[in-house]
Amino acid sequence: MKHKKKAGPNYNRYGWAFIAAAFLLYLIFTIYPAVESLALAFQSLEGGKYVFVGLKNFKRMFGDAIFLQSLKNTFLYMIIQVPVMLMLALLLAVMLNSRFLKWKGMFRTSIFLPCVTSLVAYSILFKMMFSLDGIVNQFLMHLGILEQPYQFLQNSVWARAVIIIAMLWRWTGYNVIFYLSALQNIPKETFEAARVDGANAAQTLFRVTIPQLKPIVLLTAIMSTNGTLQLFDETMNITQGGPANSTLTVSHYIYNQSFVYAPNFGYASAISYMVVFLMIILAIIQFSVAGKEG
């Protein structure tokens, strides 16, 4: 009878070596930048070098009209886009999970396809679609709705609407995958019991399906909220933050403070940590609401 060879000290050394290498990379590329940026948030560039200024950068935010505008825009996107996207994703997932639907693979692939599209590429595509000579203007003129091309991206309301539409197209399918996999883990007996009790489709959705999806709904809500608070690619490539900063987001403003205006990495770091603080607060609120509903 053969005996298995026990792991000797060399095996332990190899294991620790691999762990140490990964941990070292984590320290260099994650922990160190986080600590350094936090320290930078309390500094400002004066006389060619960064000096400690305490809470000056954080106090500056509350008097910065552009920052407050970017914060307002970001919350506007979040309040409108996130609930619409999650509800749309849930409805699509329920339809895709239906036993009566044919060609499920094709529909699932087509809905998820936007998620693998480059952020820059799809943003530029939407900019082209809603430009003066874009397909949207041409289509509306062909139908007789418009007599001449409309400048969607030069109107603050329509520019925001275009960004929201673009985000819905790009990210809805991502959430559909989460809901679809969760739906397939719900016991079929619960749906059969609902049918026996005479529940219609709407009652089944709101009283049977959604309550059992509560953990995944909370997860997607937190991820979508955090993603919207970090929104950058769409505003950068579709509107460049215009017109008159009406579509500018907080992340876009951080970029401008770092690379467009005179570099102010201390102030940009302070704004970044304000975003982190908002993410934590919103996550706590979402967990609290989910707990009370439970």
Q: Are residues 204 and 151 in the same domain?
A: yes
Cβ contacts of 112 within 8 Å, gap of 6 or more? 173, 174, 176, 177
Q: Are residues 120 and 228 in the same domain?
A: yes
CA 84 – CA 86 distance, rounded (Å): 6
In a domain? residue 183: yes
Question: Closest by alpha carbon to 174, among 227, 114, 229?
Answer: 114
In a domain? residue 136: yes
Alpha helices for the chain (secondary structure H): 9-26, 32-40, 56-61, 65-96, 104-112, 119-129, 135-142, 156-183, 188-196, 201-204, 210-212, 214-229, 233-234, 250-255, 265-293
Q: Which domain holds residue 16?
A: 9-52
Tens-place pLDDT, residues 76-97: 999 999 999 999 999 999 888 8
CA 259 – CA 22 distance, rounded (Å): 31
Q: Are residues 182 and 198 in the same domain?
A: yes
∠ CA 170-173-174, rounded to 5°:
90
pTM of the model: 0.87
Report the mean per-residue pLDDT for the chain: 89
Q: Are residues 265 and 287 in the same domain?
A: yes
Q: Are residues 114 and 206 in the same domain?
A: yes
pLDDT at 292: 64
Q: Are residues 125 and 202 in the same domain?
A: yes
User: Can you name the residues that pair with 43 across neighbouring β-strands?
Assistant: 52
Q: Are residues 146 and 170 in the same domain?
A: yes
Q: Are residues 69 and 204 in the same domain?
A: yes
Q: Is the pLDDT of residue 67 over 90?
A: yes
In a domain? residue 195: yes
Tens-place pLDDT, residues 171-189: 999 999 999 989 888 888 8
C-alpha pair distances (Å), 270 with each of 41, 56, 78, 286: 4, 10, 21, 24
Cβ contacts of 72 within 8 Å, gap of 6 or more? none
CA 176 – CA 88 distance, rounded (Å): 9
Q: Are residues 141 and 250 in the same domain?
A: yes
CATH code for the domain of 288: 1.10.3720.10
pLDDT at 12: 79
In a domain? residue 227: yes
Q: What total number of domains does the chain contain?
A: 2
Q: Are residues 47 and 88 in the same domain?
A: no
In a domain? residue 4: no
pLDDT at 276: 92
CA 183 – CA 175 distance, rounded (Å): 12
Q: Are residues 46 and 66 in the same domain?
A: no
CA 96 – CA 116 distance, rounded (Å): 19
